[in-house]
C-alpha cells in the first residue's frame, strides 16, 4: 500500500536577513573557470603556488643551513686543524644569504604568474652557488688525516648535506640536481686525477644517492602539485555551490514574496468576495422558494435553483481558498480549548449521514472509550474531520463502507482514521492529491466536484497543531486517511482530591 506522510509547516517565511552576493561570487567563478579552461594557465598557476611554498620553506628554515655549516666547519677544524674550513663556511653562508635575499624580495613583491620563470631561475642560481660551495668542500685538505678517514668525513658531510637539501628544496623542481651536479663533477674529477679508490667509491655513493633522492623529490613535487590541484578543484566547487545557492536563495525569496503577497491579498479580500455571494445566495433562495410570489415560468425556477447551487459551490471554493491563504499568510490563529475527539467525530458523522444514506454507504464507528480531552482548536479539528469524511463518502461507490476510528497512538497521542473501500488512489498520484488544487485521475473521470484544497488544508491545520497527516491508498482497495495529534496535546486527567480533616490548632505556651 502506498503511503504519503506530511508534516509540513508554514513554508511562506521570507528571509530577508541574508545578503545576496550573486555578482561577486559570479565574478569569482568566472575568473576561476577561465583560469582552469586555459591550458597554459594551470601549470603556471601551480608553479606560482609551489614557488610561494618554497619561499615560505626557505624563510622558515633559514637557520638550518648556518647551523649545519658551523658544525661541519668546527668538526673539520678539529680533525685537520685547517683554517680553510672557516673560509669555506663564510663562502657557503654567503651563497645561502643570496638565496634568502631572493626569498625575502619575492615575498615583498608578491610576484605574478608571468614572473614565475624569472624567479625560478634566480632561486636555481642560488642553489648552483650552494652546489659550488659543497664542491669546494671536497678540496679541503687534511694533512694529519688518512685518506680513508678524510673520505669518510667527506662522504658523511655530503650525504647529510644531500639529505638536508632534498628536504628543503623538493618544492623547487630540479633544485637538488642543480645543487649537487657540481659536487658529483668535482668528485669524478678527483677520482680521475688521483685514482684514489676512496674518491671512486665516494663518487659512486653520492651519485646513486643523488639519483635516488632526485626521483623521490620529483615524486614529492608531483604529490604537492596534485594536492594543490585538488585544493583548487575544491575551491572551484565551493564557489560554484555558493553561487548556485545564492541564486536559488534569491529565486526562492522572490517566489515567497510573490506567494505571500498573493496570500495576503486573498486573506484581505474575504469580505469583498463573500458579500456579493451572500446576496446572490439569499436572493436566489428567495426566488426558488417563491417567498414573494410564484414564478410564472417554471424554467426560471430551475434557473434560480442552478444559481443557488452554483453560488454555494463558489462560496465553498472561496472559503477553502481563503482558509489556505490565511494559513500560508500566518493569519490563521488557533482558538484552543479542551475538546473531545470522539464528540467532534460523532457530530461530523451526523452532518454527513444524510449524504451517506443517499448512496447507501454504511459508516462504522470504532471509538475507544474513556479517552481524555485534547488541547486543540475545535473549529479546525471539525473542519479536518468533515473534509476527510466528505472525501470518503464522495469517492466511495454506492453500497460501500466507511470505517471511522478514534484511538491512542503508540507514543501516547491520539489519532483518528477514516478508511473507505472506494477505488483508491494510484501510487504516483498521491503527491498530486496532497498538493494544492491537485486532483487524481479518478476524481476527474468521475466528475466529482471539488477544489483540490481539502487535503492541503487538513495538512496545514494538523501542522499548526504539531500533528501529522498520513495518507495510505491502494488502487481498487480503498484509501485510509490518518490524522495524528502528539502526546503533548492530550490533557491528563487528575484524580479527585480527597477531603482531609482540618488540622487541630495547637495552643502555644508562653511559659
Q: Which helix (H) or strand (E) holds 432?
A: helix 430-434
pLDDT over 90 (residue 259): no
pLDDT over 80 (residue 449): no
Residue 161, Cβ density class (10 Å: 0-12 exposed, 13-18 middle, ≥19 buried): buried
Give the model's pLDDT for residue 242.
Answer: 84
**Span 219-225, mean pLDDT?**
84
Q: How confident is the model at residue 31 (pLDDT cuts 50, 70, 90)?
A: low
**Span 329-357, mean pLDDT?**
85
**Span 375-385, mean pLDDT?**
89
Q: How confident is the model at residue 309 (pLDDT cuts 50, 70, 90)?
A: confident
Highest mean pLDDT among 4-8, 75-79, 242-246, 396-400: 396-400
Give the model's pLDDT for residue 6.
Answer: 47
In the chain, pLDDT over 90 holds for what percent of residues? Answer: 11
Give the model's pLDDT for residue 289.
Answer: 80
Distance CA 191, CA 206 (A): 13
pLDDT over 90 (residue 404): yes
Q: Which helix (H) or strand (E) holds 318?
A: helix 298-328
Give the model's pLDDT for residue 331.
Answer: 66
**Span 142-160, mean pLDDT?**
73
Return all residues near 66 (Cβ < 8 A) that are at least 6 apart. 93, 96
3-state secondary structure of 410: coil
C-alpha 324 chain-centroid distance: 30
3-state secondary structure of 236: helix
Which has the closest alpha carbon to 399: 370, 364, 357, 427? 357
CA distances from 271 to 56, 292, 319, 379 (A): 74, 28, 11, 20
pLDDT over 90 (residue 405): yes
Beta-carbon-side half-sphere exposure of residue 58 (alpha carbons within 13 Å): 27
- Is the C-alpha dihedral spanning 208, 209, 210, 214 positive or negative? positive
Return all residues near 323 (Cβ < 8 A) that are at least 6 apart. 332, 383, 453, 457
**Span 390-396, mean pLDDT?**
88
Give the model's pLDDT for residue 267.
Answer: 62
**Span 468-473, mean pLDDT?**
90
pTM value is 0.46
**Span 432-439, mean pLDDT?**
75
Q: How confident is the model at residue 45 (pLDDT cuts 50, 70, 90)?
A: low
pLDDT over 60 (residue 508): no
Give the model's pLDDT for residue 27.
Answer: 63
**Average pLDDT along the chain:** 79
Highest mean pLDDT among 19-33, 69-83, 364-378, 485-499: 364-378
Task: Name which of 68-77, 282-291, 351-360, 467-476 the model is least confident about.
Answer: 282-291
Give the model's pLDDT for residue 169.
Answer: 85
CA distances from 494 to 149, 356, 486, 497 (A): 100, 39, 19, 9
Give the model's pLDDT for residue 20.
Answer: 45
Distance CA 259, CA 108 (A): 55
Distance CA 433, CA 427 (A): 10
Per-residue pLDDT tens over the stretch 412-421: 899 999 999 8
Q: How confident is the model at residue 481 (pLDDT cuts 50, 70, 90)?
A: very high
Give the model's pLDDT for residue 416.
Answer: 93
**Span 227-251, mean pLDDT?**
83
pLDDT over 90 (residue 23): no
Residue pair 200/150 in contact by the 8 Å Cβ criterion: no
**Span 156-171, mean pLDDT?**
87
Grid coordinates representing 288 are: 426558488
pLDDT over 70 (residue 2): no
Give the model's pLDDT for residue 250.
Answer: 87
pLDDT over 50 (residue 376): yes
Q: How confident is the model at residue 149 (pLDDT cuts 50, 70, 90)?
A: low
Answer with the residue of higher pLDDT: 1 or 390: 390
Amino acid at each position: 500500500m502506498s503511503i504519503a506522510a506530511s508534516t509540513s509547516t508554514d513554508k511562506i517565511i521570507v528571509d530577508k536577513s541574508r545578503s545576496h552576493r550573486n555578482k561577486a561570487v559570479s565574478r569569482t567563478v568566472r575568473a576561476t573557470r577561465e583560469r582552469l579552461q586555459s591550458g597554459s594557465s594551470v601549470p603556471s598557476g601551480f608553479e606560482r603556488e609551489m614557488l610561494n611554498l618554497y619561499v615560505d620553506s626557505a624563510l622558515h628554515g633559514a637557520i638550518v643551513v648556518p647551523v649545519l655549516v658551523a658544525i661541519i666547519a668546527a668538526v673539520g677544524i678539529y680533525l685537520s686543524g685547517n683554517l680553510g674550513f672557516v673560509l669555506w663556511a663564510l663562502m657557503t653562508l654567503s651563497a645561502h644569504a643570496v638565496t634568502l635575499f631572493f626569498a625575502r624580495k619575492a615575498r615583498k613583491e608578491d610576484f605574478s604568474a608571468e614572473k614565475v620563470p624569472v624567479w625560478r631561475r634566480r632561486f636555481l642560481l642560488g642553489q648552483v652557488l650552494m652546489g659550488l660551495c659543497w664542491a669546494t668542500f671536497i678540496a679541503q685538505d687534511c694533512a694529519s688525516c688518512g685518506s680513508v678517514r678524510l673520505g669518510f668525513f667527506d662522504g658523511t658531510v655530503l650525504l647529510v648535506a644531500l639529505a638536508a637539501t632534498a628536504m628543503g628544496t623538493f618544492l623547487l623542481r630540479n633544485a637538488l640536481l642543480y645543487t649537487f651536479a657540481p659536487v658529483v663533477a668535482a668528485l669524478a674529477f678527483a677520482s680521475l686525477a688521483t685514482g684514489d679508490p676512496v674518491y671512486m667509491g665516494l663518487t659512486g655513493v653520492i651519485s646513486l644517492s643523488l639519483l635516488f633522492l632526485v626521483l623521490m623529490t620529483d615524486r614529492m613535487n608531483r604529490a604537492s602539485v596534485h594536492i594543490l590541484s585538488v585544493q583548487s578543484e575544491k575551491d572551484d566547487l565551493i564557489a560554484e555551490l555558493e553561487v548556485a545557492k545564492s541564486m536559488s536563495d534569491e529565486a526562492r525569496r522572490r517566489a515567497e514574496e510573490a506567494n505571500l503577497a498573493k496570500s495576503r491579498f486573498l486573506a484581505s479580500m474575504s469580505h469583498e468576495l463573500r458579500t456579493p455571494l451572500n446576496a446572490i445566495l439569499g436572493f436566489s433562495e428567495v426566488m426558488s422558494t417563491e417567498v414573494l410570489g410564484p414564478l410564472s415560468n417554471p424554467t426560471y425556477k430551475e434557473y434560480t435553483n442552478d444559481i443557488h447551487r452554483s453560488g454555494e459551490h463558489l462560496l465553498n471554493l472561496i472559503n477553502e481558498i481563503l482558509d489556505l491563504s490565511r494559513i500560508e499568510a500566518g493569519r490563521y490563529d488557533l482558538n484552543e480549548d479542551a475538546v473531545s475527539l470522539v464528540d467532534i467525530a460523532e457530530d461530523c458523522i451526523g452532518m454527513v449521514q444524510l449524504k451517506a444514506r443517499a448512496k447507501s454507504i454504511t459508516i462504522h464507528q470504532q471509538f475507544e472509550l474513556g479517552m481524555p480531552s485534547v488541547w486543540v482548536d475545535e473549529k479546525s479539528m471539525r473542519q479536518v474531520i468533515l473534509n476527510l469524511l466528505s472525501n470518503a463518502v464522495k469517492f466511495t461507490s454506492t453500497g460501500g463502507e466507511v470505517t471511522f476510528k478514534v484511538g491512542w497512538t503508540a507514543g501516547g497521542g491520539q489519532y483518528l482514521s477514516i478508511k473507505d473501500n472506494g477505488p483508491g488512489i494510484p501510487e504516483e498520484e498521491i503527491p498530486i492529491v496532497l498538493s494544492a488544487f491537485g486532483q487524481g485521475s479518478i476524481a476527474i473521470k468521475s466528475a466529482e466536484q471539488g477544489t483540490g484544497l481539502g487535503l492541503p488544508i487538513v495538512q496545514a491545520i494538523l501542522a499548526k497543531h504539531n500533528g501529522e497527516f498520513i495518507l495510505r491508498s491502494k488502487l481498487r482497495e480503498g484509501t485510509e486517511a490518518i490524522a495524528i495529534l502528539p502526546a503533548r496535546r492530550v490533557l491528563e486527567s487528575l484524580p479527585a482530591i480527597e477531603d482531609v480533616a482540618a488540622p487541630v490548632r495547637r495552643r502555644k505556651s508562653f511559659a
